[in-house]
Each structure stands twice: as structure tokens, then as C-alpha cells.
């Protein structure tokens, strides 16, 4: 699906996605347990949610837990799930007050039952808010997503709801977790790593990337604004030439 920004030619990315990385290192630098970094990371989730909206972003996707993260030490995984539950409990009121729609991407049916219940309630109670959407990537992995989508698509073919002769990306992408969502315009990763770690591989096909050395707990609204300013300087060509996307001054189209 083409991005909002491609249609509206705006300097502000409509959909920003963030790989929130570096909580563990933030804690380690201070001689604190890793979970303390995650706790501070949750505070950054809060501030960033509202910072993005203030800056004109319409959709914010946060990579909160990957399918690979289950392989971390059990006490860390348990603590992360506990934090997620605490966060959802605490934020519901704020989402309603500030008109934030919540949605998720990922295999959420494998999350603890308590978390699933909170997610369902929160999504149900915020589904009518259309101005701004927070998307949490939970138990998310792009390869799992493609495998799940391929299975669902194959089942639809068998059921006669899809035709093998119409195998376009447009139709297939409806089976991804991101069905109905615009593609991310800008993907930010904190902590200095320059990798994608199984995040929105297909949807990010034409996203702009900004990598920052800041650790996630240290990321502020000013840093988000700086990433957006960097995005505004980029020329998105989608395979065309520079002349095609930026007609000469005075040229008529």
C-alpha cells in the first residue's frame, strides 16, 4: 500500500516506526539490572507517543517485543510481560482522554492471557479514534508474518475467496498483520545498531531509515524532531529519476 506521504507530499512522515533498542545497555552503563532499562524505556514510550502526535505524525509503530526475544533469560521475558501489562493498565485512560487508537501487529495470541485481555479491551475502547494510531509490535517478526500471511492466503485460495491468477502484492498484503495500515515512511532505530532485526521487512520497502546512537531511554522529543527533519531532506524516488519526482521549477505537469 502506498504511504500517505507519497500522496500528500508532506515533510512530516505520516507513519513513523521505531525499533526501540538499547534498554539493556542503558541499565548496564549505570550498574543497574536490565529490567530497570526496560522500565525507563516504558517512560520513553509514553513521551514518544505524544511527541509524535505533536509533531504531526498520524501513526506510530513501536517494536516492543520480537518473536526472537522469547529466547532471552526467562526472568527478563517475565519482567517484560509484567511491564507490558502494567503499561496497558495505566495507559487506557490516557488513550481515551487523548483520543489515541491502539492496534497491534504480531502473534498476539501467544502472549500471556492477561496481556491479551488488556489488549482486547484497549483496542475495543479506542477503535473509533481515527486521528492518531499507536501500533504496538508484540511477538512480531517479519518472517513469521509472511509465513502466517502465506498460510491464510493459501486457505483463501482453497476456499475460493482468492484466485491464483490474481497474485498481486495489493491482494496478498491484505493477509499481513498490517492489513489496512499505510507503509512506514520513516523507520528509526536507536542504540547505534544498523540493522532491521526482522521488523517490517516488506512494509519498509521504500521507507527512509534514520539510525541514532542514542539508547532508547535517552530518546527525547527533540531527537524525534531531528529524525523527522532528516527525513524531510531526503528525496524519495520510488525507482523513478530525480527529475521525475521533482519537476523543474515552472514546469507544468
Q: How far is the CB of 21 from Mg ion (least distance, A)?
A: 4
Dihedral angle, C-alpha 145, 127, 21, 91, nearest 10 °: -140
Which residue has cell 517478526? 141
Q: How far is the CB of 210 from Mg ion (least distance, A)?
A: 17
CA distance linking residue 18 with residue 48, whole number of Å: 10
CB nearer to ligand IPE: pick between 144 and 197: 197
Q: What is the CA radius of gyration of the chain?
A: 19
Binding mask 71-90 for ligand IPE (x = CB under 6 A): ---------x----------
Binding mask 179-218 for ligand IPE (x = CB under 6 A): ------------x-x-x-x---------------------
User: Closest Cα partner for 19 from 142, 179, 155?
Assistant: 142
CB nearer to ligand IPE: pick between 21 and 183: 21
Q: Are 136 and 104 in contact (CB under 8 A)?
A: yes
Which residue has cell 529524525? 227
| 177 is a site residue for ligand IPE (CB under 6 A) | no
CA distance linking residue 204 with residue 10, whole number of Å: 18
| 3 is a site residue for ligand IPE (CB under 6 A) | no
Residue nearest to ligand IPE (CB): 24
- Binding stretches for ligand IPE (CB under 6 A): 19-25, 63-66, 69, 80, 191, 193, 195, 197
Amino acid at each position: 500500500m502506498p504511504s500517505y506521504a507519497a500522496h500528500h507530499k508532506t515533510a512530516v512522515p505520516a507513519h513513523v516506526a521505531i525499533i526501540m533498542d538499547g534498554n539493556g545497555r542503558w541499565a548496564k552503563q549505570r550498574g543497574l539490572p536490565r529490567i530497570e532499562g526496560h522500565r525507563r524505556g516504558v517512560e520513553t514510550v509514553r513521551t514518544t507517543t505524544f511527541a509524535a502526535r505533536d509533531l504531526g505524525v498520524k501513526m506510530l509503530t513501536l517494536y516492543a517485543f520480537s518473536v526472537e526475544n522469547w529466547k532471552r533469560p526467562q526472568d527478563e521475558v517475565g519482567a517484560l510481560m509484567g511491564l507490558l501489562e502494567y503499561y496497558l493498565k495505566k495507559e487506557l485512560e490516557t488513550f481515551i482522554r487523548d483520543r489515541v487508537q491502539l492496534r497491534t501487529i504480531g502473534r498476539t495470541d501467544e502472549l500471556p492471557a492477561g496481556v491479551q485481555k488488556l489488549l482486547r479491551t484497549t483496542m475495543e475502547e479506542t477503535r473509533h479514534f481515527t486521528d492518531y494510531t499507536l501500533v504496538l509490535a508484540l511477538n512480531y517478526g517479519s518472517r513469521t508474518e509472511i509465513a502466517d500471511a502465506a498460510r491464510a492466503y493459501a486457505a483463501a485460495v482453497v476456499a475460493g475467496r482468492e484466485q491464483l491468477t490474481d497474485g498481486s502484492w495489493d491482494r496478498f498484503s491484505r493477509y499481513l498483520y498490517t492489513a489496512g495500515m499505510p507503509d512506514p515512511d520513516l523507520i528509526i532505530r536507536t542504540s547505534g545498531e544498523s540493522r532491521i532485526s526482522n521488523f517490517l521487512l516488506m512494509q519498509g520497502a521504500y521507507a527512509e531509515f534514520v539510525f541514532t546512537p542514542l539508547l532508547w531511554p535517552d530518546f527525547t522529543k527533540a531527537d524525534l524532531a531531528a529524525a523527522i527533519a532528516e527525513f524531510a531532506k531526503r528525496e524519495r524516488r520510488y525507482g523513478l529519476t530525480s527529475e521525475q519526482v521533482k519537476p523543474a521549477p515552472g514546469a507544468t505537469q
